[in-house]
Amino acid sequence: MDACVRLNFTHEVQNTRAMLWFGARRKRFIGDNGFNPRPIATRRESMAIYELNKGEYEKVRPLFKELDYNLIISAVIEGTSPGRIYVDHVGNPKTAFLCSVEGYYLVGYVDNDAFNKALNRLIFEKFFAGDTVRRDETDISIGFHPPSWEDKMEVIFRGRVPLKTVRRHYVCSEPKAVEWRDKIPTGFSIQRVDQRLLRNPSVKIPDHATDWMEINWGSVDDFLQKGSGFFMLHGLEVVSWCITDCASGDACEIGIHTRPDYRRRGLATLTAAATVDYCLSHGFTSVGWHCDEYNTGSRGVAEKVGFELERKYVQSFCIYNEANHLAEMGLSFFREKRYRKAAECMEKVFATRSDDMPEWMLAEMHLYYHLAARAWAALGDRNTAFTYLNIAVDKGWTNIELTKRCIEFHIFHETQEWKNSLARSE
């Protein structure tokens, strides 16, 4: 899990640029540790793609050299984090595909058509059938090198239109002078995660926090031995938590999560500062942080703590559920100001049978109707924009302050329909 908790598609409404942030809604679940390699599912696949045994992982490390800013790759190769590695040839691999709890990584020779087609089958017939490092994976996000892999994503993701996301990698080797101890609010405390704290029956610890440890390290015990982290407590309730996602040598990466009802109070910054402070004073010389380009909240926390942008990079991804994938396509088009395409994608989402949507998506349809209203407003279709805006309100949209800030609606602010929509929401 990276700093934006990318793996639980929680929607976040960003105030900056009045942008509705869906996620991407890429839901992740706890699952198979991935420490026990299995043979490839079908004979046809095994002719082009092979799964390595753990003892063979080191042989592909040179192939991943250009992606080593993703520390999870080294953690998988070294066996400290769950994962699998597939190659085109066991004895002399020229192409490798690494699966981890933090994502997927593809490197090496690009023009092996047989491998690329076999990888497509692996993704749709095996991974999306539930046989993944993280059980019940609903999306596949691939970081890659060289950049020419992007041209092959139509083959690898055949069956879905490949989507693209921009990510950020931050590094901190010297934290800013964040006197986190002096800034802890009254009634709150920050404590290092240890066995005593985890076993204290009086402390209410969210499942998300301990699940995270198990997912990324294989078990809570392994996390306690090799990782580190801090909890922010309000009384006896854990409300923000920052833990190491993985570690290799003298480097580690961390992630942060704060309960929605405790956000925008600076708690994440304090919890992350405590974690970075501890890591850099206990043997680590650098701490890494990954987040999506659009996650301004995560970026802000990183920069306040002292992280510096090391690079931006691109990942390609697809989502198994078609309606979910269409919604993400619509969001991508909207960000690119391709409003007609965005609106068309959302119309397809609305035309999808409810039986073909995950339950969480049905519960959040107000988000999609609000985005559709913005797209139609940008296209100048006043009637459709207000129709969808009213549906969004009826289905549970409550962030009217964000609606007022959306630039697409500004041309309607003096209309009666606008006043009626605002009154409807109140």
| Model pLDDT, residue 6 | 31
| Model pLDDT, residue 176 | 78
| Model pLDDT, residue 134 | 84
| DSSP run (H or E) holding 270 | helix 267-280
Look at the block and give the residue holding tokens 């999609």.
368
- What is the pairing mode between strands 95-100 and 163-172? unpaired
280 dihedral zone (left: phi>0; alpha: psi -120 to 50; beta): alpha
| Model pLDDT, residue 47 | 63
CA distance 246 to 102: 10
Residue 257's DSSP bridge partners are 241
CA count, 13 A, side-chain hemisphere, 349: 28
Q: DSSP secondary-structure letter at 242?
A: E
CA distance 176 to 287: 13
CA count, 13 A, side-chain hemisphere, 357: 19
The whole-angstrom distance between residue 74's C-alpha and the CA centroid of its chain comes to 19
| Model pLDDT, residue 1 | 58
| 87 within 8 A of 49, measured Cβ to Cβ | yes
108 dihedral zone (left: phi>0; alpha: psi -120 to 50; beta): left
The whole-angstrom distance between residue 195's C-alpha and the CA centroid of its chain comes to 28
Which residues make Cβ contacts (< 8 Å) with residue 24, sequence separation at least 6? 6, 9, 139, 163, 165, 292, 317, 319, 328, 331
| Model pLDDT, residue 178 | 67
Look at the block and give the residue holding tokens 């890429």.
26
- Exposed, middle or buried: residue 193 (CB in 10 Å: 0-12, 13-18, 19+)? buried
| Model pLDDT, residue 380 | 95
| Model pLDDT, residue 12 | 34
| DSSP run (H or E) holding 285 | none
User: Please, what's the b/e burial string for 137-168 (b: 16 or more CB within 10 A of its CB; e: otherwise)?
Assistant: bbbbbbbbbeeebbebbeebbbebebbebebb
Tens digit of pLDDT at every position of the chain (426 positions): 554 333 333 333 333 223 333 333 343 332 333 333 333 444 444 469 999 999 999 999 999 999 999 999 999 999 999 999 999 999 999 999 999 999 999 999 999 999 999 999 999 999 988 899 987 778 999 999 999 999 999 999 998 999 999 999 999 998 776 689 999 999 999 999 999 999 999 999 999 999 999 999 999 999 999 999 999 999 999 999 999 999 999 999 999 999 999 999 999 999 999 999 999 999 999 999 999 999 999 999 999 999 999 999 999 999 999 999 999 999 999 999 999 999 999 999 999 999 999 999 999 999 999 999 999 999 999 999 999 999 999 999 999 999 999 999 999 999 999 999 988 877
